[in-house]
Amino acid sequence: MKRALAFLLLATTVVAACGGNVAASPTPSATASATATAKPIQVGLVTDVGGLNDKSFNQAANTGRLNAEKDFGLKTSVIESKKQEDYVPNLTTFAQQNYDLVIAVGFLMQNAAWKVAKQFPNVKFAIIDGAPANDAGNTENLPNVANLFFKEQEAGYLVGVIAATMAKNMVGKATHNTVCSMGGIPIPPVDHYIAGYQDAIKTISPTTTILNGYSNDFVDQQKGKEVGLNHISKGCDILFQVAGGSGLGYIAAAKEKGVYAIGVDVDQIDVAPGTVITSAMKRVDKAVYDTSNAVKSGSFKAGDNFFSATNDGIAFGKLDPVVPADAKAAADKALADIKSGAIKPKTDLTVK
């Protein structure tokens, strides 16, 4: 049946004809899509060039997609972009097939999402970490685009509180009163984490030495590990990574030398138990999940949607047993203070 339909579509040469989306559906239920009521909500996810295995936000977004599919009975698909020029056609692919929600993962897609969303005003879009940006490079909000932002500095601040408390009190292997961080490359979404981290350390433990470095890579683990070994040789015993796959090498350095590491984006406590003491979490999965649900329930909100400590879009991950109660208490208090607005973590680096 669907094969016959696919052949039919193959013969069509008019783009408009592709709007039927029948052949596109791999599930038998698609045959019922003739009636609008039976049509399940369709959510399409387009990754940036990092791909689904990026150990970072693309992967988290995909987790959110799969959870939403399961919990809300949605029909979902994903396309991994291999090149920057694929963003527009990939977003267009879902929009042309009348998907209800098309999610662009990553700030790299801000301009592409603006272009496509303008062409398809009846399709809803969401951009992880971004807002639609026009050809001049300026933000231009659209009525059918939700901008999903995360306050990374809050997550950085929370784990910074834990690191600072442990460094100050010389807990466990943290004996040198020196803490470090490593970014992939110096760009805002990375530096926000590190800025919040440094802000917390400066606030809580002003005497603690802070170092920061970059692997200049989001993939290469050996580079991340070398930066880590270099930091450890300078006395660092708590290492915070914001570098995707390369950051796993940074954690590996901490593991090898028996010091502590802090994970990023997702809960990385299982990456190296006993080494990773907590993670600065950015709940991209939750953003995708919630936005999918919002489309289904009719509560989709265009424009800026912030995922922060306030709505549990930002959090610190599971804690290793070595983290003392006072450090956890301090982090919990910081979380409350960020929610209440008493603390506003910085977004600019203190130590470059």
Partner 1 sequence: MTIDQLIGAGVLAATLRLATPILLAALGGVVSERAGVVNIALEGCMLVGAFFGVVAADQSHSVVVALVAAMAVGAGLAAIHAVAAIHLRSDQIVSGMALNILALGLTSYLDYQFYGTTGTPSDLAGVPDIEIAPLAAVPFVGDVIAHQNAIVWAGLALVVLIQVFLFRTVPGLRLRAVGEHPRAAETVGIAVRQTRYWAVIASGMLAALGGAYLSLSVAHSFTDGMTGGRGFIGLAAMIFGRWTPVGALVASLIFGYGTALSFSLQGASIGDVRVPVQLLSTLPYVLTILAVAGFVGRSRPPAADGIPYETEGHA
Partner 2 sequence: MASEPQATPTGPATAPSVRQPTAQWARGPAVPVASVVFALAIGAIFVLLSGHDPIAAYIDLFRGAFGSPYDITETLIQTIPLVLAGLAVAVAFRTGLFNIGAESQLLIGAVAAGAVGARFADLPGFVLFPMVLAAGIGAGAGWAAIAGYLKAARGVNEVITTIMQNYIVVFVMHWLLQNGPMTAPNALGTPASAPIGAGAVLPIIIPNELVPLTRLHAGIFLAIAAVVVFWFLLWRTPLGYELRAVGLGARAAAQAGIDPRTRIVIAMAIAGGFAGLAGMIQVTGVFHRVFDGFSSGYGFDAIAVALLGKNSPIGIALAALLFGAFARGGSIMQANAGVSAQLVSVIEAVVLFVIAAELIVRVLTARRRERKPLEAIA
Name the site residues for partner 2 (rule: CB under 8 A). Answer: 2-3, 6-7, 9-10, 12-18, 23-26, 44, 49, 51-52, 77-86, 88-90, 92-94, 107-108, 110-111, 119, 129-131, 133, 135-139, 185-189, 216
How many whole angstroms separate alpha carbon 203 and alpha carbon 45? 40
Residues binding partner 1 (CB under 8 A):
51-55, 59, 63, 185-186, 213-214, 216-217, 219-223, 225-227, 229-230, 233, 245, 248-249, 252, 255, 270-273, 352
Q: Which does 196 bind (CB under 5 to 8 A by kind): partner 2, partner 1, none?
A: none
Please say which residue, 44 or 156, places its beta carbon nearer to partner 2: 44
Q: Which does 317 bind (CB under 5 to 8 A by kind): partner 1, partner 2, none?
A: none
| Helices vs strands, H then E, count in the chain | 10, 12
SS3 content of the chain, % helix, strand, coil (to 5): 45, 20, 35
How many whole angstroms separate alpha carbon 107 and alpha carbon 261? 27
- In angstroms, give the least distance from the CB of 2 to partner 2: 7
Confirm if 223 and 215 have CB atoms less than 8 A apart. yes
Q: Which does 20 bind (CB under 5 to 8 A by kind): partner 2, partner 1, none?
A: none
Q: Which candidate, 292, 253, 333, places its Cα nearest to that of 40?
A: 292
How many whole angstroms separate alpha carbon 265 and alpha carbon 329? 22
Please say which residue, 19 or 188, places its beta carbon nearer to partner 1: 188
Q: Which candidate, 308, 322, 303, 34, places its Cα nearest to that of 153?
A: 308
Q: Which does 154 bind (CB under 5 to 8 A by kind): partner 2, partner 1, none?
A: none
Please say which residue, 19 or 186, places its beta carbon nearer to partner 1: 186
- In angstroms, give the least distance from the CB of 117 to partner 2: 12
55: left (phi over 0), alpha (psi -120 to 50) or beta: left
- In angstroms, give the least distance from the CB of 49 to partner 2: 7
Confirm if 116 and 95 have CB atoms less than 8 A apart. yes
Q: Which candidate, 242, 265, 152, 158, places its Cα nearest to that of 204?
A: 158
Supply 346's token pair: 């910085």
- In angstroms, give the least distance from the CB of 222 to partner 1: 5
Please say which residue, 53 or 119, places its beta carbon nearer to partner 1: 53
State the number of CA atoms in the 13 A half-sphere of 42 facing the CB: 25
Q: Which does 84 bind (CB under 5 to 8 A by kind): partner 1, partner 2, none?
A: partner 2
How many whole angstroms separate alpha carbon 250 and alpha carbon 257? 11
Q: Which does 270 bind (CB under 5 to 8 A by kind): partner 2, partner 1, none?
A: partner 1
Please say which residue, 145 or 182, places its beta carbon nearer to partner 1: 182
